[in-house]
Amino acid sequence: MTHTFDILIIGGGAVGCAVARELSRYDVSIALLEKEADVAAGASGRNSAVVHAGFNNKPGSLMAKLCVEGNHGFEAACRELDVPYRKTGKLLVAFDQADLDTLARLKAQGEENGCQGLRLLSREELRARLPQVGGIGAFESPETAVFDPFQYTVALAENAQKNGVQFFLNTKVTAIERTAKGFRVTAGDQVFTARRVVNCAGLHSAEVAALAGLNRYHIYPCRGEYFILDKTDVLPMPIYPAPKAGIGGLGVHLTPTIHGNLIIGPSAEYIEDPADTASTQVVMDKLWAEAQQLLPGLNGRQIIGSYAGIRPKQAPPGEGGFRDFVIREEVSCPGLVNLIGIESPGLTASLPIGRMVAGILSLSMDMTEKKDFDPTRKGILRFRDQSPEEQARLIAEDPDYGEVVCRCQTVTKAEIRQAIENPLGARTISAIKYRAWATTGRCSGGYCLPKIAEILTEEYGMAPEAISHRGDGSHLFTGRVKA
Ligand SMILES: Cc1cc2nc3c(=O)[nH]c(=O)nc-3n(C[C@H](O)[C@H](O)[C@H](O)COP(=O)(O)OP(=O)(O)OC[C@H]3O[C@@H](n4cnc5c(N)ncnc54)[C@H](O)[C@@H]3O)c2cc1C
């Protein structure tokens, strides 16, 4: 069977989902194809979760323009989409004169980009503000924020779906052919036809462009590893070092997450395999040493986990640094809009990127605004955040609110059920984890994972052997020990 749409979006990261959400404002038929079992499976689920202000990016670049625009609209978007967000501000810390010069340059650059309220802090001001942090001076960005990138991506997807976008998970695009009317896209045994294709395939965007005959792009995977620390209030805002020229990222920083944990990272290491999200001893030791310089009192016993994300860099290893986003309809392949090298600040910039794609498409196709577009989406109600009276009311209404499944994060069975019944139909453990936030505490699922598996089998009829962490190749059980 061939599925026919006006527009096909390839890739269900934050950018693909933001493009889907922004295009769903118009009277066009849209499908999003994602190769994994859920959205946010790539860089969008493995990052620092910071809403950047935009002072790091070269004035006049797309990165600078879209980041500043994204930052200014982020809080309102999170309100519409019911996504956790907190404006924390951020400090960049200097350790020598060269760092102080860098911070003064970044302040001027940020002001040129349109960032508000940037300030340089003396050693005394830094000590007065955050006595626990090392360094001889700092730079303050009050517009920086933290948020939940999983829920953000899921919310964009759910809102796009509510406005008519069809999601095809476990659907890897394997071939793209030009036709008289547009494109014929193959994904395994499924065939899609569309007038326009938007390539939001992140690390694989150069390969997807090559499927359509464009071999000009190259992506260099660059891994960033992180530590996750248990809940702590040791830092009220992200603390970064003054950036060094030529590295692939922004430097190892300490970031309080929206859920109350502290993350340390990321490193920046060019690697061969874009799927290699391993944490390595050598890099983790280096991370810890660099983090100690920023926050000398760090306690290693607070570490509860690690993860890594891969940057889709256009700058090759010798060059380092950042090359600007590529967002364009290809002259040699009309109808194909490529998004290449969407590394940081891609999350922050995702909605402006979506609007930019809508602008590009409207040049060559009729994009009439829908009258009934609904910009809102409601997330899962967090039992632990409710007042005792509200909790009692919820339990009286639904006894599953009275059963705590994840003890570390106080997640109830009612929330797990809502996560399982998510509108996209994603059924993996990580899909449940990202929506309900279960399994993310100190025990890493030791207590609640078997309970979630039990709910899936006993109440949703899943065979145990079908339960997986992230889809194929990550199954929890291989077979029965007893008949
Ligand atoms: C270590 C690190 C830290 C970062 N920190 C921040 C930060 O604090 N703030 C910020 O703003 N940005 C940050 N970023 C950048 C941000 O994470 C990315 O720019 C953003 O997530 C990119 O989204 P995306 O949708 O383009 O890519 P992805 O999230 O990688 O999504 C691409 C999707 O395409 C799918 N796909 C690939 N090939 C195919 C195919 N053939 N068929 C179907 N689907 C396919 C993939 O499975 C994937 O889901 C960070 C990135 C990294 C790696």
Q: What is the pLDDT of residues 336-386, one digit of tens each?
A: 999 999 999 999 999 999 999 999 999 999 999 999 999 999 999 999 999
pLDDT of 1 strictly over 90: no
Encode pLDDT of 306-335 as tens digits: 999 999 999 999 898 899 999 999 999 999
pLDDT of 20 strictly over 90: yes
Say how many Å lie between the CA of residue 285 and the centre of ligand 1. Answer: 26
Which of the following CATH numbers is that of domain 86-146+220-313: 3.30.460.20, 1.10.3720.10, 3.30.9.10, 3.40.50.720? 3.30.9.10
Q: Atom 14, ligand 1: which residue's CA is nearest?
A: 344
Q: Atom 3, ligand 1: which residue's CA is nearest?
A: 47
Query: Averaged over 86-102, what is the pLDDT?
Result: 96
The confidence score (pLDDT) of residue 72 equals: 98
- Ligand 1: residues whose CB is within 6 Å? 10-16, 33-36, 41-44, 47-50, 52, 172-173, 200-204, 208, 224, 266, 309-311, 342-348
The confidence score (pLDDT) of residue 247 equals: 67
Reduced to 3 states (helix: H, G, I; strand: E, B; else coil), residue 5 is strand
Ligand 1 binding pocket mutation candidate from 211, 219, 247, 344 (most atoms within 8 A of CB): 344
Which atom of ligand 1 has the smallest separation from the CA of 226?
Answer: 1
C-alpha pair distances (Å), 419 with each of 84, 221, 437? 16, 32, 9
Query: Averaged over 217-237, what is the pLDDT?
Result: 95
Answer for the pair 224, 249: CB distance below 8 angstroms, yes or no: yes
pLDDT band at 71 (very low <50, low <70, confident <90, very high): very high
Say how many Å lie between the CA of residue 43 and the centre of ligand 1. Answer: 3
The residue with tokens 């493995």 is 46
The confidence score (pLDDT) of residue 246 equals: 66
Say how many Å lie between the CA of residue 383 and the centre of ligand 1. Answer: 30
Which atom of ligand 1 has the smallest separation from the CA of 36?
Answer: 47
Average pLDDT of the chain, as a whole number: 95
Say how many Å lie between the CA of residue 1 and the centre of ligand 1. Answer: 30
Q: What share of the chain has pLDDT > 70, as a percent?
A: 99
- The two tokens of residue 254 are 């300490």
Q: Rounded distance, CA 295 to CA 235, Å?
A: 9
Q: Atom 37, ligand 1: which residue's CA is nearest?
A: 201
Which atom of ligand 1 has the smallest separation from the CA of 200?
Answer: 26
Query: Averaged over 201-212, what is the pLDDT?
Result: 98
Q: Atom 33, ligand 1: which residue's CA is nearest?
A: 11
Q: Rounded distance, CA 41 to CA 79, Å?
A: 23
Say how many Å lie between the CA of residue 162 and the centre of ligand 1. Answer: 23
Q: What share of the chain has pLDDT > 90, as a percent?
A: 92
Does the domain made of 383-466 have the CATH classification 1.20.120? no
Q: Checking phi first, is residue 153 left (phi over 0); if not, alpha (psi -120 to 50) or beta?
A: alpha
Q: Atom 19, ligand 1: which residue's CA is nearest?
A: 346
Q: Say whether the peptide bond before residue 266 is cis (omega within 30 degrees of 0).
A: yes
The confidence score (pLDDT) of residue 378 equals: 97
Which of the following CATH numbers is that of domain 1-85+147-218+315-379: 3.40.50.300, 3.20.20.140, 3.50.50.60, 3.40.50.620? 3.50.50.60
Least Cα distance to 113 among 160, 74, 71 occurs for 71
Which atom of ligand 1 has the smallest separation from the CA of 16?
Answer: 25
Catalytic residues: 52
Which atom of ligand 1 has the smallest separation from the CA of 342?
Answer: 19
Which amino acid makes up residue 202? Answer: G
C-alpha pair distances (Å), 138 with each of 113, 128, 219? 20, 12, 34
Ligand 1 binding pocket mutation candidate from 34, 190, 323 (most atoms within 8 A of CB): 34
Which atom of ligand 1 has the smallest separation from the CA of 343?
Answer: 19
Dihedral, 32, 34, 39, 40 alpha carbons, nearest 10: -120
In this structure, which long-range contacts are made by residues 473-476, counting pairs with CB atoms below 8 Å and at least 24 apart in sequence? Answer: 474/428, 476/429, 476/449
Q: Rounded distance, CA 470 to CA 82, Å?
A: 25
pLDDT band at 212 (very low <50, low <70, confident <90, very high): very high
Count CA within 13 A, CB hemisphere, residue 445.
Answer: 17
pLDDT band at 65 (very low <50, low <70, confident <90, very high): very high
Question: How many Å from the N-terminal Cα to the C-terminal Cα in the chain?
Answer: 40
Query: Averaged over 172-195, what is the pLDDT?
Result: 97
Ligand 1 binding pocket mutation candidate from 83, 170, 277, 343 (most atoms within 8 A of CB): 343
The confidence score (pLDDT) of residue 252 equals: 85
pTM: predicted TM-score of the whole model, two decimal places: 0.97
Q: Where are the domains of the chain?
A: 1-85+147-218+315-379, 86-146+220-313, 383-466
- Show the beta-strand stretches assigned E in 341-469: 404-406, 411-412
pLDDT of 249 strictly over 70: no
Q: Which of 171-175, 283-287, 358-362, 374-378 has the lowest mean pLDDT?
A: 283-287
Say how many Å lie between the CA of residue 13 and the centre of ligand 1. Answer: 5
- 251 against 126, higher pLDDT: 126
pLDDT of 248 strictly over 70: no
pLDDT band at 473 (very low <50, low <70, confident <90, very high): confident
Say how many Å lie between the CA of residue 201 and the centre of ligand 1. Answer: 8
Strand arrangement, sheet containing 85-87:
50-51, 145-147, 85-87
Say which residues have a Cβ less than 8 Å from residue 174's Cβ, sequence separation at least 6.
186, 187, 188, 211
pLDDT of 481 strictly over 90: no
pLDDT band at 250 (very low <50, low <70, confident <90, very high): confident
Say how many Å lie between the CA of residue 424 and the centre of ligand 1. Answer: 19
Q: Atom 51, ligand 1: which residue's CA is nearest?
A: 47
The confidence score (pLDDT) of residue 483 equals: 67
pLDDT band at 387 (very low <50, low <70, confident <90, very high): very high
